[in-house]
Amino acid sequence: MKITDAKVIVCSPGRNFVTLKIYTDQDIYGLGDATLNGREKAVVTYLEDYCIPALIGKDPRNTEDIWHYFYKGVYWKRGAVTMTAISAIDMALWDIKAKTLNTPLYNLLGGKSRNGILVYAHANGKNINEAIENTGKEIEKGFLAVRVQSGIPGIGHTYGVAEGNKPYEPAQKGLPREDYWDSTKYLNFIPFLFEKVREVVGNDIHLLHDVHHRCTPIEAARLAKELEPFHLFWLEDPVSGELQEGLRLVRQHSVTPIAIGEVFNTVYDYTTLITEQLIDYIRMPLVHGGGITHLTKIAAMASIYHIQTGFHGATDLSPVNMAAALHFNTAINNFGIQEYMPHQDIVHEVFSINYHFKSGYMYINDAPGIGVDIDEQKARKFPYSMACLPVNRKTDGTMFYW
Ligand code: CS2
Ligand code: MG
């Protein structure tokens, strides 16, 4: 079997997506998500100029060798752009492999360890009342787990809060919007938020919160400790993950479970976090973390340390990634939870999907491969337009983490 051609499809049904399509000489093709929010064109160029020419002629079933060809074989390793390109190639090759065997992808990853995949929804609000109201709405839809984000009194626009009645979409057309941040106001408010949310929803709903990289280790330790009475399912990205040992301080002070790594892209971002059991969930998704070939290895390593998966699943990861993640989550033993922000309906004009939500869980059907397809003609109706994630400054103007 040989790879005969490949192309990158860039489209924007409601938001930008990048999809790699790899063709073979047996009339089977594979798809891989190559979307990197706000840096889409960098991945397109990397794939078109440096990866696709080298793919032609290779046997698509040789996923291990091809992964190392583009990882070990490349001098300049790691990084979000490089690893997103490798992830897309890997996803597409596993799609081909499963289609060739006429079986759903999960059967190549260990088969069914579970039927339904526990997912969590996003609830956010400009203020605490709206956040609580929207948490209730997600519970009414059947979600058993809800991530709660709220506007912070005294801070203008902040992470995770939708504008008006629009679905939450952080990337804005053109250059980055500048947001402002006050850690003191945030730290003083969040425990109060979850005290009130718990009062309303009770103790059986899993509650999650995303700090979005914005605390120092000691601030994160304080927040995680003060949130203990509300039994969060997890506190996400409490600190910026570059300093893995920074999580030691959080771990020393709190039993609130920690999830980290949606911005990570290789196992090397996790080595201290996993081996010292500083976290409870790995967030790095297939689309940015080296694909199925890499994440199966990381999930296996994590399982030794009682760490589970909790993959990123925001709307800026495409339906191809979501379906591939659901196959992965179906098969592995140390699955924890999957983030599920439903894509807007317009996205499904371009991507046909094979999964559905019911009563707190996602289900994937038995279509061969990953099971998602892309309608190229429809994709052309939605041309790419540059959009960037905001940047974030402290109130004194100091550049900070967004
Ligand atoms: C967030 C994301 O879903 C999450 O946990 O961290 O919404 C993140 O801000 C976006 O994916 C960035 O593109
Ligand atoms: Mg996050």
Same domain, 213 and 279: yes
Tell me, yes or no, if 340 is annotated catalytic: no
Measured CA to CA, the distance from residue 388 to residue 375 in angstroms comes to 25
The atom number, within ligand 1, closest to the CA of 236 reads: 5
Same domain, 161 and 14: no
Please give the residue range of the domain that contains residue 362. Answer: 108-369
- Give the confidence band of 198 by pLDDT, cuts at 50, 70, 90: very high
| Residue 294 domain flag | yes
The atom number, within ligand 1, closest to the CA of 212 reads: 6
Same domain, 24 and 59: yes
The atom number, within ligand 1, closest to the CA of 402 reads: 9
Query: Which residue's CA is the nearest one to ligand 1's atom 10?
Result: 314
State if pTM tops 0.75: yes
Q: Mean pLDDT over residues 58-81, rounded?
A: 98
Same domain, 118 and 259: yes
Same domain, 164 and 201: yes
| Residue 58 domain flag | yes
Task: Report the range of poorest mean pLDDT among 9-23, 105-119, 166-180.
Answer: 166-180
Same domain, 166 and 288: yes
CB of 385 closer than 8 Å to CB of 12: yes
CATH number at residue 27: 3.30.390.10
Number of domains in the chain: 2
DSSP conformation class of 174: B
Q: What is the pLDDT of residue 159?
A: 85
Same domain, 186 and 54: no
| Residue 278 domain flag | yes
| Residue 97 domain flag | yes
Sign (positive/negative) of CA torsion 293, 296, 300, 302?
positive
| Kind plus residue range of the DSSP H or E element containing 393 | strand 391-394
Q: What is the pLDDT of residue 367?
A: 98
Nearest ligand for residue 317 CA: 1
Same domain, 90 and 134: no
| Residue 81 domain flag | yes
Same domain, 74 and 42: yes
Query: Which residue's CA is the nearest one to ligand 1's atom 4?
Result: 314
Query: Which residue's CA is the nearest one to ligand 1's atom 6?
Result: 212
| Burial of 156 (C-beta count, 10 Å sphere; 0-12/13-18/19+) | exposed
316 lines ligand 1 (CB under 6 A): yes
Q: What is the pLDDT of residue 93?
A: 99
pLDDT digit string, tens, across residues 305-362 = 999 999 999 999 999 999 999 999 999 999 999 999 999 999 999 999 999 999 999 9
In 3D, which of 151, 35, 39, 20 has the Cα closest to residue 90? Answer: 20
